[in-house]
A and B are shown apart, each in its own frame.
Chain A
Amino acid sequence: MDSDDLPIPEIPPFESERIFDQPPAWRRLIARVLRHRSMMIGFTILALIVLAAILAPVISPHDPYAQELSRRLTPPVWHENGGWTHILGTDKLGQDYLSRLFFGARVSLVIGLVSIMISGTIGVALGVLAGYLGGRVDAVINYFLTVRLSMPVILVALASASVLGGSVKVVILLLGFLLWDRFLIVSRAVTRQLREAEFIAAARSLGASPLFIMLREILPNLLGPLMVVATLEIAHAILLEATLSFLGLGVQPPMPSWGLMVAEGKAYMFFQPWIILIPGVMLVLLVLAINLVGDGLRDVTALDGRN
């Protein structure tokens, strides 16, 4: 780690005890992030998509729900029949594709974030309990994990969605209650290592309760690895939402979702391939960006852990 090219800040007296007079940890972290090329690419794409989602009502050229049946299936501007009114063309109902893409970004991001908050809470709670308490608790939780893993997400989600009816809320709840497995595996493994650490033994000898140790001593130390899992699982959730919507049991029309847009365009793809290519490329870009950020986070935090 060479920090010579970094502007070293004025260090207050009590901080000068640092062994190498390095800048504070968070500054080193940011410097490392800035130097991680693929992570920066991921960040940039992700920021653009998030911005488009937030500003969707402002930057959309048309109302995403306005149907103009006389101009249905207008191709994008780079086609000979395309025009600047509908830059990315229109779908089978004459709805503006670009506006629907912007609003579809909201659906993907909201479902990804909220469902992962639910599944993360479940997975981390179970993982810390299993890792810290061990023994029977660990065996029972491991059994729950095996039950969950032996039922394919898509099959369970499809069966439940057909019972409950597809909607944004149902998709969020389903994914929230299905995607906790990796959170559990990672938090259990890290908790098991931490349990043997000296500062945990110190807390225990001071009479701290197991609950206090789990919440105040172990949980903060899980943040690094969990951030990596969370980003990768958000990508996973976004892909699953798209798949469910594609199969007709996720987000329902007329709401725009990228997976649904591919499904609606499928019947026309032989003559107008752009109709499935555009929303698909957006999905790939979004998931790719999130995965790049996640992989980058792993590299950056792993380096920090070694110090």
Chain B
Amino acid sequence: MLNFLLQRLSVAVAVLFTVALIAFSLLHLSGDLAAAIAGPEATVETIEHVRHQYGLDRPMATQFFQWLSSAARLDFGRSFYFESSVRELVWQRMPITLNLGVVSLLLALVVAIPLGVLAAVFRDGVIDRLSMFISVIGQAMPNFWFALVLVLVFAVELKWLPVAGNASWKNFVLPSIALSYHAMPALMRLTRSGMLDVFSADYIRTARAKGLPAFTVVVKHALRNAIIPVVALAAVELGFMLGGSIVIEAIFSLQGLGQLAWDSIARNDFPVVQAIVLIIAVFYLALSLLGDVLSALLDPRLRKNG
């Protein structure tokens, strides 16, 4: 188990290094940063001054390793636009995005798992067909458009919920629905197929033969085993949601990490963009590692050829 963990961790560190390199070179290839920071009306001297002040006159490799070593100490430099510490900025915005991500994931699980179980128990029944139909339609809907339709129906027509902003919990309802529906079909299908696999196992037949009530067999015996891959997938889906929240936050003007990324991209605020790319990569890697570890803990067969 320790070996497995160490191997996974070393790959994760190497991947993180590469992501940092890609983010760094992508943004430094984009043109003269000093000129961009100084603004269109700056004189040559101002540009040179800025170049020196931000350390942009040093060799690329030096800049990269300096940035990386301070990033490892959680110091991501200063934002060009806000002129404040990137760490502070990210720290302020993070809770909103994490809230949104976790609530969306819980919502997706609360809907997907019972539907998946029911679809497996009543295979080819009404629930099975209906949930399949909804998930096919759901997967075809663009995220941004579904969010706008939700606004039209629940905020404009019915006036149940606010259109945008982040004043109260009500502001999080529509964004969470918009973000979660994309994860639902995959989670549901996985629950369904896992349950179907488990149903044919011997110990389920034994449990049935013992005369245990159907509910106990389904929930206590079958679901407990079928849920393992679903948990692993859920961890990965949370990572994807952090990426998907850019679009959702932009539509609902939630001032989270996604909105910050989006604004910073538009403003050429590179230190912020680099930091966010790196932070999201850390989240993704940590979550997929967590998923792997959970699966390995629950199912020893996976440890061998991980």
Q: Which residues of A contact B (CB under 8 A)?
A: 143, 146-147, 149-156, 158-160, 162-163, 235, 239, 242-243, 246-247, 259, 262, 266, 269-270, 273, 276-277, 280, 283-285, 287-288, 291-292, 295
Contact = CB atoms under 8 A, between A and B. Distances in A.
Q: How large is the interface on B (under 10, 10 to 19, 20 to 34, 35 or more residues)?
A: 35 or more
A242 B142 contact: yes
| 4 interchain residue pairs of minimum CB distance | A152-B243, A288-B140, A163-B30, A280-B145
Contacts of A153: 243
Nearest to A249: B265
A155 B243 contact: yes
Contacts of A284: 137, 140-142, 145
B145 A262 contact: yes
Contacts of A162: 265-266, 268
B244 interface: yes
B244 A269 contact: no
A238 to B, nearest CB: 9
Contacts of A160: 26
B148 A147 contact: no
A94 B31 CA distance: 38
Contacts of A143: 11, 14-15, 18
B139 interface: yes
Contacts of B266: 162
B250 interface: yes
For the residues of A in contact with B, the DSSP-based class is helix
B162 to A, nearest CB: 14
25 contacts: A147-B18, A147-B19, A149-B284, A149-B288, A150-B15, A150-B19, A151-B22, A151-B23, A152-B242, A152-B243, A155-B261, A159-B273, A160-B26, A239-B143, A242-B145, A243-B144, A246-B142, A246-B144, A259-B144, A273-B152, A276-B148, A276-B152, A284-B142, A288-B140, A292-B136
A279 to B, nearest CB: 8
A159 B281 contact: no
B142 A243 contact: yes
B230 interface: no
A132 B19 CA distance: 27
Contact of A291 (B12, B18, B140, B246): B140
Interface in B132-166: 136-137, 139-145, 148-149, 152, 156
Given A280-B149, A291-B136, A247 B19 contact: no
Contacts of B11: 143, 146
Contact of A155 (B29, B156, B277, B288): B277
Given A150-B19, A276-B152, 9 more contacts: A147-B22, A151-B281, A154-B247, A155-B246, A158-B265, A159-B26, A163-B30, A246-B145, A284-B145
B142 A159 contact: no
A283 B145 contact: yes
B262 interface: yes
Nearest to B285: A150
Nearest to B274: A159
Contact of A159 (B140, B239, B250, B265): B265
Interface string B86-117: 00000000000000000000000000000000
Interface in B11-37: 11-12, 14-16, 18-19, 22-23, 26-27, 29-31
A152 B22 contact: no
B280 A155 contact: yes
Contacts of A292: 136
B240 interface: yes
B265 A154 contact: no
B222 interface: no
Contacts of B244: 152, 154
Contacts of A152: 240, 242-244, 246, 280, 284
Contacts of B250: 247
Contact of A269 (B14, B152, B239, B265): B152
Nearest to A160: B26
B226 interface: no
Contacts of B262: 158, 247
B217 interface: no
B298 to A, nearest CB: 22
A147 B156 CA distance: 42
